[in-house]
Amino acid sequence: MGLLWADRFLLPSGARRRFLIAFWLWYAVAAVWFVGMMNTWEAIWPVSLCLVWWLVLFFREPLQRFTAWLRLPLFLKFLLLGLFFNDVVMENLAVSFKGDLHPNLFLNCFLWLGPYAGVLVGWWLLARFYSFSPWLVFLLYGIKGVIIEQDFLVAKLLLSKQFLAVAVFIPIVAVVYGASVAPVFVALEKELPRPPRRLGLLGPVLAIGVPALLFYGFAFAWFKLVALIFGLKIGA
């Protein structure tokens, strides 16, 4: 029964599975603390991304059948599905439906198209060289989020010795980021190539760095473009 449960949710075996169980226990405690600390129902929405991820895993077979039915080039499917989970699902839940680039939610999503497309292009390129499991994408992109979110907030909190805030912040942010990209690797698990190259030490470094660099690169170009063509400016 344990093996069936693990297979259903694509969980690895052995020590890696125990690590994931420990992480989710940490997350559960942090989520309760976070909601209680914020003392507002708005705090529920970032935490709800946990549910999104587990629903994707639970319904992965219908999701994979749907993606197989879509008669589109694989890159286009990867980009469209990725933008749906990044720009529509994650973005709105993470900010509790309060646009962070623009108060209009539609325009806010439009402004985020460029940065999130950069992230997805980065992962698409990485998937040409390395075979990433959905859980590995979830964890690696979660680490990237913890590093950069709120202008390196974790580093600032550590320097100011706010260790409780760090303990709450890390699992919440990791899940927000992981749930934004990993679902596309679940949906297209049977369609994406499986390069034989070993991940080694370089693979995780690239998986954290490449999407981050392309996020900022695409963001810079996209924001310039929409300001030039549509007159849209960040925060306007």
Tens of pLDDT along 134-163?
999 999 999 999 999 988 999 999 999 999
First to last CA, the chain: 54
- Return the number of other C-beta atoms located less than 10 Å from residue 133's C-beta: 15
Residue 145 within a domain: yes
- Residue 12, in any domain of the structure: no
Question: Does residue 151 form part of some domain?
Answer: yes
Tokens of 7: 């297979």
Rg (CA), the chain: 18
Tell me whether residue 90 is in a domain.
yes
> Looking at this protein, which amino acid is placed at residue 92?
N
Q: Is residue 112, in this structure, part of any structural domain at all? A: yes
Helices (H) and strands (E) in the chain, counts: 11, 0
pLDDT in tens, 86-138: 999 999 999 999 999 999 999 999 999 999 999 999 999 999 999 999 999 99
Domain annotation covers residue 65: yes
Number of domains in the chain: 1
Q: pTM of the prediction? A: 0.93
Residue 34's domain comprises 21-230
Concatenated DSSP letters for 112-135? HHHHHHHHHHHHHHHHHHS---HH
